[in-house]
Amino acid sequence: MQTRVARLYGAHDLRVEEQEVRRPGPGEVLLAMAAGGICGSDLHYYHDGGFGPVRVREPIISGHEASGRVVETGEGVDLAPGTLVAISPSQPCGTCEYCAKGMPIHCLDMHFIGSAMRLPHEQGMFRDLFTVPARQVHAFPTGVTEGEAACAEPLAVCLHAVAQATELLGNLSGLRVMVTGAGPIGLLVLAALRHAGATDVTVTDLTDAALERAQAMGATVTVNVASDAGALEPLQAGKGQVDLIFDCSAAGPALRTAFAAIRPRGIIIQVGVTGDMTIPLSALVGKEITWRGSQRFHPEFAEAVALIGSREIDLRPIISHSLPLERAREAFELASDRSIACKVQLTFAPEEPLT
């Protein structure tokens, strides 16, 4: 049984090819993939061959945020054909030191679909058919679109990031909050913040198109720092006026702005990732700032599926483009143009009868 895949061989060398797919065994499910979002890490692989120490060292099938429909199940799996599901790419071992401490995100033997961290690489989800363990799929109610379902993974990332803040601060209502960067992650952090009770959220970005989406997702104030950087000056007065900042840009200028706007003993949650950069240590120390990183998710994936399924979080405004798998290279180039694109998704071939 053949399936098409989008396989990356190196920077800008993305090919649509065919390979065999196996039928599901006990505890597994065969999915006809429906929609798959192109993530920032996918773009780093495509443009740069990796990010930081993580490099593409062998051909890898891209994609770790996707939805699919059940085609066939193995023994012990109770999922009806046609059921729309999201696939959690995260597979902690459950037995290492950090799993035993209740921190599976930091698993020492983590397998993560579509990641080049390990060798052999963990192959991803940009393919027509995919066989996965049933424990990794989460079903949606009727009425949810395939594109929405594919956003469960990035929403889970953002729910986890907001959970870092609520762990430190408790109730977010009444706090002055800022999100730097209105790409897909910044917009989903905004949605998660509003769901968590934040009522005063300023969003910054370099493009008006991104900020229009932020307004649609519930931003209180939007600021284009390319054309109106002075609009942030009131937030930097008196050692800073902002209680909580989520940096989703991983850009040096945005981070410097964050350190200027955060109040003494305020909290910055770092969501965006890049390589090494210069940081304002004097502000970090002088204002006694808490700067906390946030990565991935674990229980938040099921929470994301539930919030999408109920439309308590409506993330349809972030989905800007959908292209078929055969146009994967075009989709990756489009996703790289933040002036026109937000969340770009691939779509896959409809299910064909199995023989």
**3-state helix/strand/coil string of 141-175:** CCCCCHHHHCCHHHHHHHHHHHHHHHHHHCCCCCC
Same domain, 134 and 36: yes
CATH number reported for the structural domain that contains residue 243 in this entry: 3.40.50.720
Same domain, 331 and 244: no
What angle, rounded to 10 degrees, do the helices at 208-216 and 184-195 form?
20
Same domain, 177 and 131: no
Hey, what are 39's tokens?
A: 């993530």
- pLDDT confidence of residue 352: 54
Q: Is residue 305 part of a domain?
A: no
Mean pLDDT of 236-249: 96
- pLDDT higher than 50, residue 108: yes
Supply the mean pLDDT for the chain: 94
Residues in the chain: 355
Same domain, 48 and 107: yes
What are the C-alpha distances in Å from 90 to residues 55, 122, 174, 304, 329?
19, 11, 34, 14, 26
Nearest of 118, 143, 129 to residue 28 by alpha carbon: 129
Task: Report the percentage of the chain scoring pLDDT > 90.
Answer: 90
As a whole number of angstroms, the distance between CA 30 and CA 347 comes to 17
- pLDDT higher than 90, residue 301: yes
Mean pLDDT of 229-246: 95
Same domain, 160 and 42: no
Same domain, 51 and 160: no
Residue-number span of the structural domain to which 183 is assigned: 156-293
- pLDDT higher than 50, residue 355: no
**Confidence category of residue 74, pLDDT binned at 50, 70, 90:** very high
**Confidence category of residue 354, pLDDT binned at 50, 70, 90:** low
Fill in the DSSP letter of residue 351: P
The model's pLDDT over 196-221, given as tens digits with 9 standing for 90+, comes to: 999 999 999 999 999 999 999 999 99
Q: Is residue 13 part of a domain?
A: yes
- pLDDT higher than 90, residue 229: no
233-238 long-range contacts, CB within 8 A, separation 24+ = 235/176, 235/178, 235/202, 235/261, 236/260, 236/261
**Confidence category of residue 51, pLDDT binned at 50, 70, 90:** confident
What angle, rounded to 10 degrees, do the helices at 328-335 and 40-48 form?
110
Nearest of 222, 240, 232, 146 to residue 186 by alpha carbon: 222
Same domain, 174 and 220: yes
Same domain, 169 and 287: yes
Burial class (CB in 10 A: 0-12, 13-18, 19+), 350: exposed
Same domain, 78 and 199: no
Nearest of 227, 266, 264, 226 to residue 247 by alpha carbon: 266
Residue tagged 């953002």 (tokens):
158
Number of domains in the chain: 2
Nearest of 271, 273, 310 to residue 140 by alpha carbon: 310
Same domain, 65 and 183: no
Mean pLDDT of 305-316: 95
- pLDDT higher than 90, residue 273: no
| CB hemisphere CA count around 12 (13 angstroms) | 3
- What's the pTM? 0.94
